[in-house]
Amino acid sequence: MIDGENMKTGGFKLGSKENIGLGNPYVIAEIGVNHEGSMDLARKLIELAKEGGADAAKFQSYKADTIASRHSPAYWDTSKEATLSQHQLFQKYDSFTPEDYALLAEHCKACEIDFLSTPFDHAAVDFLEPLMPFFKIASADITNIPLIRKVAGKNKPVVLSTGASTLAEIDLATQTLNHCGIDMIVLLHCILNYPTEDLNAHLLMIRGLKRAFPELPVGYSDHTLPKNSMLALITSHLLGAMVIEKHFTHDKTLPGNDHYHAMDKSDLREFIRALENISVLVGDSDFKHYIPTEEISRQNARRSIVLSQSVKVGETLTEELLICKRPGHGISPLFWDNVLGTRVAMDLDVDTILQWHHLEKDA
Q: Over the stretch 165-196, which tens digit does the pLDDT of each residue have? A: 999 999 999 999 999 999 999 999 999 998 99
Q: Which CATH class is domain 4-282?
A: alpha beta
pLDDT at site 323: 98
- Residue 358 and residue 315 in contact, taking contact as beta carbons nearer than 8 Å: no
What value does the mean pLDDT take over residues 54-81? 88
Q: What is the pLDDT of residue 7?
A: 43
**Where in the chain are all domains bearing CATH 3.90.1210.10?**
294-358
User: What average pLDDT score do residues 349-358 get?
Assistant: 98
Q: Which residues pair with 315 in a beta bridge?
A: none
* 69 vs 112: which has the higher pLDDT: 112
Q: Please state which of the ranges 94-98, 200-204, 220-224, 253-257 shows the lowest mean pLDDT.
A: 253-257
CB atoms < 10 A from the CB of 145, how many?
12
pLDDT at 259: 87
Task: Please tell me the total number of residues recorded for the chain in this structure.
Answer: 363
Instruction: Give pLDDT, residue 1.
Output: 34
The pLDDT assigned to 211 comes to 98
Distance between CA 25 and CA 244 in Å, rounded? 7
Give the contacts of 283 (CB within 8 A, at least 6 positions apart): none
Residue 5 scores a pLDDT above 60: no
- Amino acid identity at 42: A
Rounded CA separation 170/175 (Å): 8
Q: What per-residue confidence (pLDDT) applies to 6?
A: 41
Measured in degrees and rounded to the nearest 5, phi and psi for residue 306 equal -125, 145
* Contact between residue 142 and residue 165 where contact means Cβ atoms under 8 Å apart: yes
What one-letter code names the amino acid at 309?
Q
Residue 301 in 3-state DSSP? coil
CATH 3.20.20.70 in the chain, residue ranges:
4-282
Cβ atoms within 10 Å, residue 1: 8
| pLDDT for residue 4 | 41
Q: Region 322-327: what's the mean pLDDT?
A: 98
Does CATH place domain 294-358 in 3.30.420.340?
A: no
Residue 202 CA to residue 214 CA, distance in Å, equals 19
Q: Model's pTM, two decimal places?
A: 0.88
Euclidean distance between CA atoms 61 and 79, whole angstroms:
25
DSSP H or E stretch at residue 189: strand 185-190
Backbone torsions φ then ψ of 58, nearest 5 degrees:
-115, 140
The C-alpha atoms of residue 56 and residue 316 are separated, in whole angstroms, by: 73
CA distance 154 to 151: 6
Alpha-carbon span 8 to 19, nearest angstrom: 7
- Across residues 274-298, what is the average pLDDT? 93
Kindly report, residue by residue over 107-158, the tens digit of the pLDDT: 999 999 999 999 999 999 999 999 999 999 999 999 999 999 999 999 999 9
| Cα 8 to Cα 76: distance, rounded to the nearest angstrom | 38
User: Mean pLDDT, the chain, as a whole number?
Assistant: 93
What is residue 116's predicted lDDT score, i.e. its pLDDT?
98
* Burial of residue 223 (number of CB atoms within 10 Å: 0-12, 13-18, 19+): buried
Predicted pLDDT of residue 141: 97
User: pLDDT band at 361, cuts 50/70/90?
Assistant: confident
Does residue 12 contact residue 217 with C-beta atoms inside 8 Å?
yes
Answer yes or no: is pLDDT of 100 > 50.
Answer: yes
- Residue 58's closest CA among 252, 302, 294, 244? 244
> What is the per-residue DSSP string for 233-265?
HHHHHHTT--EEEEEB-S-TTS-STTGGG-B-H
Backbone torsion region of residue 212, taken as left when φ is above 0, otherwise alpha when ψ lies between -120 and 50, otherwise beta: alpha
Q: Which of 213, 285, 313, 269 is nearest to 51 (CA)?
A: 269
2 or 344, higher pLDDT: 344
